[in-house]
Structure 1
């Protein structure tokens, strides 16, 4: 049975020299919970959807389509072997460390009942220099992109509470085949796939829909 292994938050932002904003909330740590999750509002005006979770960069993180970030313990274990170092739950800045459910091949728009909340898959995590700086790994963005185990962002369709050991149930799976992995490749390595993201409708973040339209317009004009 898929479950939440741990619920992780950053209780405060930390000043660092590797983040463009000068601070980061990526260092998330397990908490007992349960914690409330809710729709935080549009990106750029609001932070995390998880109560008590601090975000420094609300321009690029948080908001409706990035309200909750989840990463699979199975993928952390893979990276642990790859990097030769221990990786705790929350190490990748995830709010939910999960077990027994595949996020890489989850479909955009897929809905998960977690605790009493209803979450909807919206996007993969796109690696940035803050992520690389926090892990202290040279070439991390390139390596993370090559491996394509990005974890998944969610928006909150129904607010509720989530705690560690809560079961995860997929209650809806769209008929299209736009997965988290395909989305990741479309944005980072295979731009020819970008138009396919529109098949997932408004589950896709608005800034990515705008990107698809801009790229399509450029191609038509060239």
Structure 2
């Protein structure tokens, strides 16, 4: 089990996301009003709070949403889970669809630190069931 620590969106691609505290998740789309939503396999991005904290301990000083992640979760190391793993948070169900991503353009974090954790630690999921997720909700691994 994990705990949602941030729910982040951005209105345009290529910008850092902002913690909005609560959002609506839509089947086969993603998060309402998020620039990366759409009918594809990377509808929602997730990152472990512990990985952000480790990166900040190196001097990064980044905030939730800085890597473009939608959900920051405490208590789950996503990158060790297999593709197809399903999660449930309230009525929302997500399915892990991709681990990591290729970084085509180096972000400000990469230029400052010489590395970025999202391409290695970040994961992506599809929305299987509609609902709402807010900060401090529990998220459970179903399989």
> TM bucket by the smaller chain?
0.7 to 0.9
Q: TM-score, normalised by structure 2?
A: 0.86
Q: Which runs of 5+ in 1 are unaligned?
A: 14-23, 42-48, 56-60, 173-222
Matching of residue 162 in structure 1 with residue 143 in structure 2: no
Higher relative contact order (CA 8 A, sep 6+): 2
Contact 2:48/2:73 (CA < 8 Å) preserved in 1?
yes
Contact 1:119/1:157 (CA < 8 Å) preserved in 2?
yes
- Higher share in strand: 2
Q: TM-score, normalised by structure 1?
A: 0.58
Look at both structures and tell me which one has the larger radius of gyration over its CA atoms: 1
Contact 1:66/1:154 (CA < 8 Å) preserved in 2?
yes
Query: What root-mean-square deviation, in Å, do the aligned CA atoms of Structure 1 and Structure 2 show?
Result: 2.4
- Higher share in helix: 1
C-alpha change, 1:128 and 1:62, in structure 2 (3 Å) is farther
Q: Following TM superposition, by how much is the alpha carbon of 1:133 offset from its aligned partner in structure 2, in angstroms?
A: 2.7
Pairs aligned (count): 143
Q: Which runs of 5+ in 2 are unaligned?
A: none
Residues 39-188 of structure 1: matches in 2 within 5 Å? 39-40=27-28, 49-55=30-36, 62-82=38-58, 84-130=59-105, 132-135=106-109, 137=111, 140=114, 143-144=115-116, 149-172=120-143
